[in-house]
């Protein structure tokens, strides 16, 4: 029963180099190509049927020192002294055609017209925040949100226009029903998520709290790394005015697919609460007679890469819902296919309904959402 899934920390995992070794190899490979004088570096496209996954260029990194230790400085593409070879993404079908021509003895030539510009007229990022005031617990807060920014190759429909739309719709549902929540319900549409959760990190640091220094660093500062000493004192949590006022935060940022459950972020104390809240949505037919599964999965797993981490990272209850994949990783995520045509309208309605129910019930609880380690 996935609703009672065990803590993944208790499950044995195979050992191996994994992503760390792959990243080191890719860094060396990229440096080799640049040193060899490659005119253009074409990334290894993993899409098909015209899908091109595009994110950002890569800067050449210096080699390890004589002792094999990482270099004292790493480069970002926007550093004025960074070495950034010309890089393009090419559809697999176009690349394969070039290979077939070469195999047939042809000598194709390729012309690249590449236009790149930084939009630096305004270097600020802007969160968009709105709220429904509470009643007897109005000074306490339940938040919901999703990030408003997106990558440039598509229009950001599934990442994360869908998340923005369903969160706004959840607020509309609550307003239309005329509900009066006990706690204030606050919606936040974050900026700068794709650049490192920038909008939510700064908001959380200003209103709720932060670990270590303030303000949290936006980007890694060039120079020797200063990792946390595992044998030293842990980073200090500084609580801001609203730290003890935030009950919970709910996030959507995994595409257009309907909700199947929620990641509990290792907080087993919320299991009975969420299990009860999902109960009306367990029936496969509650929303659509063609639905194969209802929403009920409670996973102890942590999931990353989006704005709930800004809350979870300082010990506040922050959660991301589990969603149907719906070609997210294979077709739309950070690709030229992230467009409105890929949105599933019925799934979006289901998401909005469940989010509205969760947020409202969180706002109506007698006590706040349990934090990790507290029952």
pLDDT of residue 14: 43
* Same-domain status, 321 and 181: yes
* Same-domain status, 67 and 211: no
Residue 294 belongs to a domain: yes
* Same-domain status, 79 and 202: no
* Same-domain status, 163 and 60: no
- State pLDDT tens for residues 290-323: 544 578 999 998 899 999 999 999 999 999 999 9
- In tens digits, the chain (375 residues) has pLDDT values of 444 544 444 444 444 445 678 888 989 999 999 999 999 998 867 888 889 988 788 999 999 888 888 888 889 888 889 999 999 988 889 889 999 999 999 999 989 998 888 788 998 999 999 999 999 999 999 999 999 999 988 999 999 999 999 999 999 999 999 999 999 999 999 999 998 999 999 999 999 999 988 777 665 443 333 445 556 677 899 999 999 999 999 999 999 999 999 999 999 999 999 999 999 998 766 555 554 457 899 999 889 999 999 999 999 999 999 999 999 999 999 999 999 999 999 999 999 999 999 999 999 999 999 999 753
Residue 167 belongs to a domain: yes
**What is the span of the domain harbouring residue 139?**
127-218+235-364
DSSP structural state of residue 78: T
Q: How many residues does the chain have?
A: 375
What predicted TM-score, i.e. pTM, was given to this entire model?
0.85
The C-alpha atoms of residue 142 and residue 189 are separated, in whole angstroms, by 14
* Same-domain status, 74 and 211: no
Residue 9 belongs to a domain: no
- 166-150-25 Cα angle (round to 5): 125
Angle between helices 345-364 and 162-176 (to 10 degrees): 50
Does the N-terminal peptide bond of residue 160 adopt cis geometry, omega within 30 degrees of 0? yes
Q: Could you write out the DSSP letters of every residue in 169-209?
A: HHHHHHHHTT---SEEEEEEEESSGGGTSHHHHHHHHHHTE
* Same-domain status, 268 and 327: yes
* Same-domain status, 48 and 83: yes
318-323 and 246-251 beta bridge pairing: parallel
* Same-domain status, 94 and 177: no
The tokens describing 375, both together, are 């029952």
* Same-domain status, 96 and 155: no
Tell me how far the alpha carbon of residue 247 is from its chain's centroid.
21
The C-alpha atoms of residue 303 and residue 326 are separated, in whole angstroms, by 18
Residue 11 belongs to a domain: no
Residue 114 belongs to a domain: no
Q: What is the CATH number of the domain that holds 141?
A: 3.40.630.10
Residue 8 belongs to a domain: no
Decide which of 103, 135, 159 is a domain's last residue.
103
pLDDT of residue 230: 59
Residue 108 belongs to a domain: no
Residue 14 belongs to a domain: no
Phi-psi map region of 149: left, alpha, beta (phi>0 left; psi -120 to 50 alpha)? beta
* Same-domain status, 332 and 245: yes
The C-alpha atoms of residue 90 and residue 54 are separated, in whole angstroms, by 10
Domain count, the chain: 2
* Same-domain status, 197 and 247: yes
* Same-domain status, 65 and 136: no
Angle between helices 345-364 and 271-278 (to 10 degrees): 130
């Amino acid at each position: 029963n996935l609703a009672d899934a065990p803590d993944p920390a208790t499950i044995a995992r195979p050992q191996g180099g994994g992503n760390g070794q792959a990243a080191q190899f890719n860094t060396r490979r990229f440096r080799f190509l640049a040193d060899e004088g490659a005119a253009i570096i074409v990334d290894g496209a993993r899409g098909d049927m015209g899908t091109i996954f595009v994110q950002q260029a890569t800067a050449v990194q210096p080699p390890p020192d004589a002792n094999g230790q990482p270099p004292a400085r790493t480069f970002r593409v926007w550093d004025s002294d960074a070495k950034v070879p010309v890089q393009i993404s090419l559809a697999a079908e176009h690349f394969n055609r070039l290979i077939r021509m070469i195999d047939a003895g042809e000598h194709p030539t390729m012309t690249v017209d590449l236009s790149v510009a930084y939009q630096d007229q305004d270097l600020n990022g802007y969160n968009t925040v709105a709220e429904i005031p509470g009643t007897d617990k109005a000074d306490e807060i339940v938040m919901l949100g999703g990030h408003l920014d997106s990558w440039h190759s598509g229009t950001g429909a599934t990442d994360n226009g869908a998340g923005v739309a369903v969160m706004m719709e959840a607020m509309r549902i609550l307003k239309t029903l005329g509900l009066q929540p006990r706690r204030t319900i606050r919606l936040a549409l974050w900026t700068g998520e794709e650049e490192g959760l920038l909008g939510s990190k700064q908001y959380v640091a200003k209103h709720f709290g932060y670990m270590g220094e303030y303000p949290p660093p936006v980007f890694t500062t060039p120079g020797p790394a200063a990792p946390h000493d595992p044998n030293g004192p842990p980073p200090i949590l500084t609580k801001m005015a609203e730290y003890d006022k935030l009950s919970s935060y709910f996030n959507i940022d995994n595409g257009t697919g309907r909700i199947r459950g929620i990641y509990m972020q290792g907080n087993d104390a919320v299991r009975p609460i969420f299990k009860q809240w999902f109960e009306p949505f367990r029936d496969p037919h509650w929303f659509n007679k063609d639905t194969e599964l209802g929403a009920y999965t409670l996973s102890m797993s942590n999931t990353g890469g989006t704005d709930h981490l800004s809350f979870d990272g300082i010990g506040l209850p922050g959660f991301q819902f589990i969603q149907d994949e719906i070609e997210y990783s294979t077709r739309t995520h950070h690709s030229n296919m992230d467009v409105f045509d890929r949105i599933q309208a019925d799934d979006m309605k289901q998401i909005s309904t469940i989010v509205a129910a969760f947020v409202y019930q969180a706002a109506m609880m007698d006590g706040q959402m349990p934090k990790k380690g507290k029952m």
